[in-house]
Amino acid sequence: MCGIVGYVGGRGAQKILVDGLQRLEYRGYDSAGIVTLGGGATLLREKGKVVELEKLVSEHETPDKIGIGHTRWATHGEPSQQNAHPHQAGDIYLVHNGIIENYKELKQELPDHEFTSDTDSEVLAALIDSFYDNETSLESAVTQALQLVEGTYGIAVLSTREDDKIVVARSGSPLIIGVGQDETIIASDASALVGHTTNAIYLNDGEIAVCKAGSVELTDLASHPLSAKVEKIEADMSAIQKQGYDHFLLKEIMEQPITLQSTLNGRVIKAEARAQLGGLNMSAEELQEIEHVVIIGCGTAYYAGMLASYYLEQLVDGLTVDVEIASEMRYRSFHLPKDTVALVVSQSGETADTLACLREVKARGVKTLGVINAVGSTIAREVDGGVYVHAGPEISVASTKAFTSQVAAMTIFAIQLAQAKGAGAQELGKYIDELAAMPDEIQKVLEAHKDQIRDVATKYAHYEHALFLGRDTLFPVALEGALKLKEISYIHAEGYAGGELKHGPLALVDDRFFEVMLLQENALLDKSLSNLAEMNARGGHVIAITNSDRQIDAEAVIHIDTKQELLVPIVLNVVQQLFAYYVAVARGNDVDQPRNLAKSVTVE
Ligand code: G6P
């Protein structure tokens, strides 16, 4: 959740650290801090967003060439200056991402340290300091301390006594080391490295690195040297900038025609009525044998999996499909049938529950495939094969373009599976055509309806409750619509299957609520229209979002003109994304960094 950045080289560290923290701010934003070394330590910490820290830094500028920084999402201890990282113990300064589970026990063993924060992280700083005598190197003290730690960590540690190195280590929380020309930059996320270097070492669990201006030395926790694999990171500055939009969220919604095209490129071959994913690491025979698919994710990724599960069922005869919330599944005594493949869906590739669930599934000998956006992320590295959705960096906390690309990627997987099991071009053609046409269809909808969606959203922005309803493939879309709205507008919103309306939610319909009814031109339309009539009869305030040309009796109707039929839910979801965005804007909220949330949930 928290963001970590570190720098050692020939340039001024403060600016690079603050700039890096700004790029990582979406990971946590309740307080931030940096420490730099240059004859002594300059520790600057501030409650609130990185912009507050930036002001403080401008009053205490130093030419220091080495430092570490942190932006926090509070777990232990309220957001405050005292609880902000870096934490100090003796000569040691530490930034930490993760949770030290046995911090209370460890704290009792450290009576000499005067604790000034409520954090588990300060305990780790003090523990390292307790091993750091005059004969011990910083890396050795860190190694000894980590042997005693239970929990998860990504850490960067500095010492005023050895002010040419940063020691970093990871277990469960990501860390990347950017290797530049006579400089080394550390970050918990590749976006902080963009513009500095394209060469990076992804630290693995159980590894420690000593980073200096011109070198990186890697060892395991037993101090055995390891060889470092330098990989290329692909991202450009434009991908992590707003590019004229008011918010990243709006940019990410509006760029979906392009990002979805990147998901489809080379994978949907319309001329041959064929689809293929390159990285599955499975032969056609292995695909043929798949009888069951389990899809695992959290939040929006889970809903993307849920929508894709309908397409898998529709496309692959005889296939059984389950969709699981990772935080639940990981603790269950679950059993998976023979010939199962698991699709592990995650934008960040770092979500702690999803990662833990992946490991549980692997331990049962089940083949795992990732559906991941962040290249080089932990889940992407641990799965047996899979697909990068190539939606580009998603900065806004609420996930939008990743959802669209995840559903598309899993639909391509469904087509490939159907092909392997003998389905002909005729059966699959309609899905392939609709996937290929989807970027243009989304573009058309965004252009034609942006203003109308804004007007409707502004009109309904004062409500405090909302109900989203949809049937069949529109049910997961209703759930995702409710999630998007609650994340960024703070309106209490629930998603429901249309058929469940009479089993409870109908009792809620009154003037405090508005209802979003998702309507698709298909065999279930009449049933959904009956639900709509039932709400109207009880004084509901219904907004219908639909592709149907029928006369629809609702308070507001957003009618979209699209050629999509089977995949129309993906298009309706884009409408909902814009709707949630404009509601949040009308309410004056911090759209990109909603209160209490973080983008990459690397703790349980
Ligand atoms: C957080 C984010 C959501 C995201 C979920 C799963 O809650 O705010 O937008 O859907 O985590 O994240 P993942 O990176 O695994 O897709």
Summarised one tens digit per residue, pLDDT across range 189-231 is 888 999 999 999 999 999 999 999 989 999 999 999 999 999 9
In short, whether 299's Cβ falls inside 6 Å of ligand 1 is yes
**CA angle (299 as vertex; 298, 304 as ends), nearest 5:** 90
In what order do the strands lie in the sheet containing 207-211? 87-89, 92-97, 153-159, 166-171, 207-211, 216-220, 225-226
| CA gap 65, 184 in Å, rounded | 11
Closest CA to 72 of 33, 112, 99, 115: 33
C-alpha of residue 386 to centroid of ligand 1, in Å: 19
C-alpha of residue 347 to centroid of ligand 1, in Å: 7
In short, whether 301's Cβ falls inside 6 Å of ligand 1 is yes
Instruction: Tell me the per-residue pLDDT of 566-601, one tens digit each, with 9 for 90 and over.
Output: 999 999 999 999 999 999 999 999 999 999 998 888
| CA gap 273, 275 in Å, rounded | 7
C-alpha of residue 598 to centroid of ligand 1, in Å: 8
Q: Percent of the chain having pLDDT more than 90? A: 90
Q: Which CATH superfamily is domain 242-423 in?
A: Glucose-6-phosphate isomerase like protein; domain 1 (3.40.50.10490)
Does the active-site annotation cover 599? yes
In short, whether 602's Cβ falls inside 6 Å of ligand 1 is no
C-alpha of residue 297 to centroid of ligand 1, in Å: 9
pLDDT of residue 604: 79
Atom of ligand 1 nearest to the CA of 374: 14
**23 with 240: CB under 8 angstroms?**
yes
Closest CA to 14 of 51, 67, 53, 56: 67
In short, whether 597's Cβ falls inside 6 Å of ligand 1 is yes
Q: Which of 2, 211, 298, 357 is catalytic?
A: 2
In short, whether 377's Cβ falls inside 6 Å of ligand 1 is no
Residue 593: Cβ within 10 Å count: 24
pLDDT of residue 234: 75
- Residue with the nearest Cα to atom 7 of ligand 1? 299
In short, whether 22's Cβ falls inside 6 Å of ligand 1 is no
Can you tell me the mean pLDDT for 475-485? 98
Instruction: Tell me the per-residue pLDDT of 29-56, one tens digit each, with 9 for 90 and over.
Output: 889 999 999 989 999 999 999 999 999 9
Residue with tokens 């990285």: 279
Does the active-site annotation cover 15? no
pLDDT over 80 at 27, yes or no: no
pLDDT over 80 at 26, yes or no: no
C-alpha of residue 445 to centroid of ligand 1, in Å: 25
pLDDT band at 28 (very low <50, low <70, confident <90, very high): confident
CA 230 to chain centre: 24
pLDDT over 80 at 530, yes or no: yes
pLDDT over 90 at 10, yes or no: yes
Q: Which CATH superfamily is domain 2-236 in?
A: Aminohydrolase, N-terminal nucleophile (Ntn) domain (3.60.20.10)
In short, whether 399's Cβ falls inside 6 Å of ligand 1 is yes
C-alpha of residue 523 to centroid of ligand 1, in Å: 33
Kindly tell me the sign of the dihedral angle through the C-alpha atoms of 414, 418, 419, 423. negative
C-alpha of residue 260 to centroid of ligand 1, in Å: 18
Instruction: Tell me the per-residue pLDDT of 353-412, one tens digit each, with 9 for 90 and over.
Output: 999 999 999 999 999 999 999 988 999 999 999 999 999 999 999 999 999 999 999 999
Q: Percent of the chain having pLDDT more than 70? A: 100
Instruction: Tell me the per-residue pLDDT of 72-104, one tens digit each, with 9 for 90 and over.
Output: 988 888 889 999 999 999 999 999 999 999 999
**368 with 344: CB under 8 angstroms?**
yes
Instruction: Tell me the per-residue pLDDT of 239-261, one tens digit each, with 9 for 90 and over.
Output: 788 889 999 999 999 999 999 99
Domain ranges of the chain: 2-236, 242-423, 442-589
| CA gap 127, 141 in Å, rounded | 9
pLDDT of residue 25: 82
pLDDT band at 553 (very low <50, low <70, confident <90, very high): very high
In short, whether 351's Cβ falls inside 6 Å of ligand 1 is yes
pLDDT band at 602 (very low <50, low <70, confident <90, very high): confident
Instruction: Tell me the per-residue pLDDT of 290-326, one tens digit each, with 9 for 90 and over.
Output: 999 999 999 999 999 999 999 999 999 999 999 999 9
| CA gap 388, 14 in Å, rounded | 34
pLDDT over 90 at 342, yes or no: yes
- Candidates 26, 383, 599, 603: which one to mutate for ligand 1, based on the most atoms within 8 Å of Cβ? 599
Length of the chain in terms of residues written: 604
pLDDT of residue 452: 97
pLDDT of residue 247: 96
In short, whether 325's Cβ falls inside 6 Å of ligand 1 is no
Q: Which of 165, 251, 367, 599 is catalytic?
A: 599
* Two structure tokens written together for 585: 């804007």
Average pLDDT, the chain: 95
pLDDT over 90 at 562, yes or no: yes
Query: Is the domain covering 442-589 a CATH 3.40.50.2020 domain?
Result: no
Buried b (16+ CB within 10 A) or exposed e, 295-305: bbbbbbbbbbb
Virtual CA dihedral for 343, 387, 477, 451, nearest 10 degrees? 170
pLDDT over 90 at 438, yes or no: yes
pLDDT over 80 at 6, yes or no: yes
Whether 242-423 shares its CATH topology with 442-589 is answered yes
Q: How far is CA 389 from CA 71, 352, 370, in A?
A: 27, 20, 10
pLDDT of residue 571: 97
Instruction: Tell me the per-residue pLDDT of 106-135, one tens digit each, with 9 for 90 and over.
Output: 999 999 999 999 999 999 999 999 999 999
C-alpha of residue 600 to centroid of ligand 1, in Å: 6
- Residue with the nearest Cα to atom 5 of ligand 1? 299
- Candidates 73, 358, 399, 604: which one to mutate for ligand 1, based on the most atoms within 8 Å of Cβ? 399
Atom of ligand 1 nearest to the CA of 598: 8
**196 with 178: CB under 8 angstroms?**
yes
* Two structure tokens written together for 417: 């599976």
